[in-house]
Structure 1
């Protein structure tokens, strides 16, 4: 007896798993996600974006094939894709993500559909992170939840009254580009004073390096290169320069979260991303600032908590939007191989 084809499409209505692709600027993460939010067959590799999008996408799809084989949980029925924007979700195109230079008008969705013979769903990575934490992580049981990822950049997503907020053009939730310092540091988006220009890991490290280059005394001067993790560790040890950089970071991140709490009045704000590995050093001052400065009813309602899903958040979220696609298709009368699939020529 021959083994079943892991890419053969099951009947409509089947809760079959979804292949999840998370495309980051530094790493690619691929897994197979079942309807309960569990991930299987995880494969992670460096993006090596300098190779160009054609080479990277071929490698991404090969990772997808390996993940399906490793997972061993049955054939996949869809592929969900998480990537930073801007993007055009319905057509499956990446427009010009800043973290992927040269990836302009890349038809990643149609390419994935072509590669795996199943329909695709594409969403901004922070939006799928919000969906994942809402359904399977820290936000379980909430009604309105905000999610901020504080990492290389600062991204965000919202679930409002149980529904993900995507915005009119599908790129809503750019919480990293709230202005917290008018005329301040230049952000990667081109504007000045965005919270990303102060709270991201990139900015934390850069501000420390600038101060060191200007002659500031610090224990970090002995390091070959300074990272955000180095700054948080030095701040915890009482290094004056690191304490100053860290204080500015949590103050301006807290200001942005306070504004969001006032606007959305959520049940919960979930903070994730690599910078939050600092733990209470980051969460506690942000939580305190929200409690002190947000409008009283909103401050009482909103809990500020760390994310639960860690590095798997966008894989789980990409799987979730794939399952949503299948549910919508099955309600509409069944899934066919051609649903949202178009041939892509590159």
Structure 2
């Protein structure tokens, strides 16, 4: 396993991550990927430690990859299921976290539909002067750090498989297309990708482009540039300028379960205006690659046949990268406790 200096007890947001921290995660993930390629895909790095997976909303990829990552590092796992937990009897979330603390949890991986829950649990663990690390696995419409990190690892590994690093994305153009207003993935990716020096273009219907991001740009609409030093962020209401000469496209799922209003005329019209198709790829750089955090609404955000085309799609690589990146996070957060 790679060794590196790591000082964070919690990973809750990527907003204040440094370039050195990104590179530490990328290079540790590369070491974890090598472990996963062995016949025996297990190391004793976190033997004796306990990782509690506390998912208060449904998840397939994130929950499964965190559980597998912990097991590949030889940690013990506790898996929380809200439907059969004491929450149904009136127990609070903080009391649930304290229960896992009393059972000896060293790290807690938290997903919740409300923004701020992982932060609240981290604050309580710090108040109790524990050494428990909290990892945000997605909170409301706030952030999803590990997804953005696995996206970063997938892209940088494509550019340099042996030595993925942040600066490989300097001056690359990356389009993030779709339901940005409901996407915690988009928020985390904006922090990580702009930190690399990449030029990030957000595109989607006006109803699905978050108003809060207008404070980061000079005005709204096409070619609105971020005034934040070294952070190049643009907003578009039309997809074409975002895709022009793009090196990578991150298309986002329409999160219909989080929509509280009629924000789209129809899925058919959305696909016609913002769906990723072969014809639209002609606007991009010839070597363009497509990412999607999943699950995918086939034929809506991206055409079904394009999703399965290995010449363009990195979606399966993202899932594979997820285990290595989450191993890296658990290892870095837990290695000081061994």
- Please classify the TM superposition score into its range, dividing by the shorter chain length: 0.3 to 0.5
TM-score by length of 2: 0.41
TM-score by length of 1: 0.41
Q: Rg bigger for which structure?
A: 1
